[in-house]
Structure formats: structure tokens, C-alpha cells
Amino acid sequence: MQTARDLGRVDPWQESLERSRARRARGAASSSTPRRSRGASLAWRAVTPALAVASIVVLAVSAAPSKVVVGRVAEASPAMATGHSSLRHPLAVARTPSCRAVGRASGYANPLAGAQVKPERIDQGVDYAGTGTLGAVGDGQVTYVGTEQTGWPGAFIEYRLLDGPDAGCYVFYAEGVKPEPGVRAGDPLRAGQPVATIIQGWTTGIEIGWGAGSGSKTLAGQNGQWSPRDDAENIASDAGQKFSDLVAALGGPAGKKEG
């Protein structure tokens, strides 16, 4: 009986080479197989027309439209679900998002335009204290709304951008915020549309930044850019700095590097 392989020590290049050699060995063996006898050949010729007819039938059936989805529930694309202008750009959310700073010419809106805030440190995102409302950076779709047991000292609201240079990126608003009435997961958003209200006097203030699109995780946390030591030493994450740059490019106050 063959022992289990130690996958941790497998060299991917050597593995590919061994598989290539095995395929070549099988090809050489098949080419050296004796030809069929004349009788077998004639029998094969007799069967061939029937197989051809069967093949045509199979092709016709496979070409017919089918609504059966095997293995998982089919998901509509965010663009189809929202009916946003992203329908004009069906490939916009398919490419790898850059999640970087872009200016007003991009069609994005300052998320702090409806708020009066004081900038604080840059960490996983950007911290602020103040009052007012937080708007959507761009056309998008709400992906997460949680007000309890979010893993944060307060709420966590996230949406996915569906258009513009950062299409496919997620934006989160967390801590001392509450969702605007009627904002629920799956809802469409327009650039500048109010998403959340800042709770005045909240102990930790608020935090906004790039999300991971996975529960209440941040992009910085998912990419290993944030740790308890970073928190203690006030070290800005790369994702947090990029979101601060985005806010500044859109006319809002950038966060502060404290570490």
C-alpha cells in the first residue's frame, strides 16, 4: 500500500515534470499497441454510422437551453441585481480591484461631505470623531449591515463599488455609526447617497476604510497588514493609508499617521 505523500514537501515544478513524463509514457505505450484485425476493423466501420447519428442527437440535446444548476446556487452579478450604470460596463467588477486614491474626475464622491469631523489616526482604516452622515463613495451594493456582535465596538456597514476605477473594492463604515433607515444588505447605492449616521459622542468615534467583503473583516486584516502590535504602536496599514489618500483626493480630511 502506498504511503500518504507529504504535500508540504512536494516541489510543484518537479510534480509537473513527473506528470508530463507519465503522460508521455502512456502516449508511447498506446502508439505501440497492435492494430485491430481486419474483421474488427470492418465491424468498427459498421458501427461508425450509428455512433455518428447518436453524436448528432447528443449535440442537439446539449444545445437546448437548460435552467438546471448543478453543485451550487447560481448568483446574479451585482450589476444585474442593482440595475446601476455598471450594466454599461459588464466587465468592470471582473477585473482585479486596485483600491487606491482617485479624484473627483472619477465620478466618486467624498464620503464625509455630509459630516463635520475631526481626523484621527490611520490604522486598518481611518478614524474620525464628529457628527453628520456618511455617503457612498460611488455606485454600489450593500453587502453587510450589522449593529450587534460585529466584532467591533459598535456597528459595521459595508458596500461594494460597482463602477469607476475601484470597481470591485469594498468600503466599510464602523464603530459609532448607525445605518440610514432602510439600508439593508443587497440594496443598491448611488454615489453620495447617505449610508450611515455618525453617533455623536461615541467613545471610539468612527472608522472608515477598505473592507474585505467577508463578514466584518477589513482589507488590512485580511491581507495581514494589522496586528495587536500595530494597534499598540499606532502603525498605519497600507490599506488604511490608501483609503486616507482616497478621502483627501475627494476633498475630505486625511487621517493622521501617529506611529
**Segment 193-245, tens digit of pLDDT:** 999 999 999 999 999 999 999 999 999 999 999 999 999 999 999 999 999 99
Mean pLDDT lowest among 16-25, 106-115, 180-189:
16-25
- Domains of the chain by residue range: 104-249
In 3D space, the residue among 222, 210, 204 whose CA is nearest the CA of residue 247 turns out to be 210
Over residues 161-181, the pLDDT tens digits come to 999 999 999 999 999 999 999
Name the percent of the chain lying above pLDDT 90: 61
pLDDT of residue 245: 98
CB 214 within 8 A of CB 73: no
State the pLDDT at residue 123.
97
- Residue 177's CB: how many other CB atoms inside 10 A? 26
Under CATH, domain 104-249 is a member of which superfamily?
Answer: Glucose Permease (Domain IIA) (2.70.70.10)
Helix/strand number for the chain, H first, E second = 6, 9
Distances (CA, A) of 113 to 52, 53, 101, 109, 149: 68, 68, 17, 8, 29
Q: What are phi and psi of 199, to 5 degrees?
A: -85, 110
Q: How many CB atoms are closer than 10 A to CB 173?
A: 28
